Amino acid sequence: MKKTIAVLKGDGIGPEVVNEALKVLKTIEAVYNHEFSYKEALIGAAAIDATGNPFPEETLKICQASDAILFGAIGHPKYDNDPTAKVRPEQGLLAMRKKLNLFANIRPINTYKALSKSSPLKEELVQNVDFVVFRELTGGIYFGQPRGRTEDGNTAFDTCTYSKEEILRITKLAFEAAYRRGKKVTLVDKANVLSTSRLWREVVKEYAKEHPSIQLDFMFVDNAAMKIIQNPKYFDVVLTENMFGDIITDEASVITGSLGMLPSASVGDKVGLYEPIHGSYPEAAGQNKANPMAAILSAAMLLETAFGLTEESKLIRKAVEEALTIGFVTEDINKNNHYTTSEVGDKIAALLNEFKSEIA
């Protein structure tokens, strides 16, 4: 198979973890006789420093011409700590989502037996947790107009807007995933207060009539936040709007035991973007200590979702789980006995070769 992957390493630890994901992808190329070409482009603070634009036109063109995007992270303290900055790295991410129409963020929440003691929740609560959140990504209060402040600066306002079309297109994806999983969808909203949430309920209920084999239930976002802590195994597929999804996916990520373990995908009309959820973590940048597993698992999602390479994706996940089991991990998982970012990447790549030879 021949495919082109746009590589947006970004800021902070982004370049380090993406390098390890690339190492794994190149190993997959060799093991399975695929051919991937990699096109690097700038985004975030690195792009602002080089061009003044957090999502340059050249980066957009490279993304549009690729079959998938592997993304690291954006964010830098010199912008984070300057409230007067008119151009910010995060604007690049929002622009990319809009221009590539990446309307659905897909975030799987899985726990690993080897990390059960690392979770802030009791072991019995986190064992075998396996659900996925479908978060609408290009609408809602983050993009609604009008927004701003009054002339005297004493009042600020934001607008939350959704259309039936926006809701329906991500609902379809969530239901498709439910068919492959446990056939259950939970819509998370605030329909007792918000008009937009009531529209979400109407659209999702109507769509569900065409899919009677899918169990649909509804949960207010505050109740869902509690349920994720009390009984995370309750969920299978969670469907929600932009801001609620932003909040509950970050909450859910903590129960796994390490932010460095969770991949995500953002998909839309054509090209999909695959990224770890942990952010740029500038305090660790350049120190070769960040956990690359989320970036590597994002590469696995890319292979399966964008290219249909299910076996290759499963092999990567198996290698990651084996590295966890034998304790070949970074310091976020084991402070007393740990390895560097690049050493963990090397080990996972070596395990891929080992597992494939066993299968052969």
Respond yes or no: is residue 142 known to be catalytic. Answer: yes
How far is residue 263 from each of residues 35, 88, 260, 293, measured CA to CA in Å?
23, 24, 9, 8
Question: Is 190 in the active site?
Answer: yes
Question: What's the chain look like in SS3?
Answer: CEEEEEEEEECCCHHHHHHHHHHHHHHHHHHHCCEEEEEECCCCHHHHHHHCCCCCHHHHHHHHCCCEEEEEECCCHHHHCCCCCCCCHHHHHHHHHHHCCCCEEEEEEECCHHHCCCCCCCHHHHCCCEEEEEEECCCHHHCCCCCEECCCCCCEECCCCCCHHHHHHHHHHHHHHHHHCCCEEEEEECCCCCHHHHHHHHHHHHHHCCCCCCEEEEEEHHHHHHHHHHCHHHCCEEEECHHHHHHHHHHHHHCCCCHHHCEEEEECCCCEEEEECCCCCHHHCCCCCCCCHHHHHHHHHHHHHHHCCHHHHHHHHHHHHHHHHCCCCCCCCCCCCCCCHHHHHHHHHHHHHHHHHHHC
**217 is an active site residue:** no
Residue 339 annotated to the active site: no
Please pick, among 142, 172, 183, 314, the residue that the annotation labels catalytic: 142
Say which of 82, 217, 222, 269 is annotated catalytic. 222
Active-site residue, 234 included: no
Out of 26, 99, 172, 190, pick the active-site residue.
190
- Among 49, 130, 158, 250, which one carries the catalytic annotation? 250
Set 39, 246, 314, 318: catalytic member: 246
Q: Residues with catalytic annotation? A: 142, 190, 222, 246, 250
